[in-house]
Amino acid sequence: MKTGVLFSVWVALSALLVATVVASFFLTGIPSLAAGLSIASIKAGLVFWYFMDLRGEKGLVRLSAVVAILWLFIFFLLVAPDYLFRTV
C-alpha cells in the first residue's frame, strides 16, 4: 500500500515534468520563469514530503530540512532591493 503512494507520487512528478516542458513552449519572460519555478517547487515539495518521508518525521527533522530553504529565501529577498533599484 505504501509503495502504491510512492508510485502515484512518481506519476505526479512525471506529469509535472511534462507540464514544465510544455509551459516553456507557450510562455516567455516573467510568466515563463514563474511557471518553471512554481512547478519545480511543487515537485521539490512532493519529493521532500513523500520520498524523503518528512510526512512521517517529527517536527524537528522537518524544520532542519526546510530551514535552509527559508534562509535562501531571506538571501534572495535582501539582495533583490540592490539589483532591482541599482542606479550605477
Q: Return d(Cα 41, Cα 47) in angstroms, integer.
A: 10
Helices (H), ranges, 1-88? 2-26, 29-46, 59-85
| Cα dihedral 52, 56, 61, 66 sign | positive
**Site size for other proteins (CB under 8 A):** 54
What are the cell numbers at 52?
524523503
CA dihedral over 26, 31, 32, 36, signed as positive or negative:
negative
Binding string, residues 49-88; x marks residues near other proteins by CB under 8 A: -xxxx---xx-xx--xx-xxx-xx-xxx-xx-xxxxxxxx
Site string for other proteins, 4-43 (x = CB under 8 A): --xx-xx--xx--x--xx-xx--xxx--xx--xx-xx--x
Binding site for other proteins (CB under 8 A): 2-3, 6-7, 9-10, 13-14, 17, 20-21, 23-24, 27-29, 32-33, 36-37, 39-40, 43-44, 47-48, 50-53, 57-58, 60-61, 64-65, 67-69, 71-72, 74-76, 78-79, 81-88
